[in-house]
Amino acid sequence: MAAGIKDKVAILGMGCSRFGERWNDNAEDLMIEAYVEALADAGIEKSSIDAAWFGTGIEEEHVGKSAVPLSMALRLPNIPVTRVENYCASGSEAFRGAVYAVASGACDIALALGVEKLKDTGYGGLPQRNRGSVNDLFWANASAPGSFAQLASAYSAKHGVNKDDMKRAMAHISVKSHDNGSRNPKAHLRNKINEEKVMNAPMIAEPLGLFDCCGVSDGSACAIVTTPEIAKSLGKKDLVTVKAMQLSASNGTEAQHNSWDGSHFVTTRAAANRAYKEAGISKPRDQISLFEVHDCFSITEFVTMEDLFISEEGNAVNDVMNGFYDADGKIPCQIDGGLKCFGHPIGASGLRMIYEMYLQMQGRAGERQRQDEPVFGMTHNLGGFPHQNVCSITIVGKEGA
Positions annotated as catalytic residues are 88, 344
- Give the pairing of strands 81-84 and 51-55: parallel
Coil, helix or strand for 358? Answer: helix
Residue 141 DSSP one-character state: T
Annotate 273-328 with three-state secondary structure: HHHHHHHCCCCHHHHCCEEECCCCEHHHHHHHHHHCCCCCCCCHHHHHHCCCCCCC
**CA 27: distance to chain centroid?**
19
Nearest to 194 by CA among 216, 168, 155, 215: 168
Pairing of strands 81-84, 109-116: unpaired
Output the CA torsion 365→369→370→371 (10° steps): 120
Q: Beta partners for 82?
A: 53
| 261-285: burial string, b at 16+ Cβ within 10 Å, e else | ebbbbbbbbbbbebbbebbebeebe
Within a 10 A sphere around the Cβ of 129, how many other Cβ atoms? 10
Strand 10-16 versus strand 219-226 pairing type:
antiparallel
Distance CA 219, CA 341 (A): 12
Report the greatest alpha carbon distance in the chain. 58
Stretch (H or E) spanning 380: strand 376-385
What is the C-alpha to C-alpha distance for residues 9 and 394, in angstroms, rounded to an integer? 13
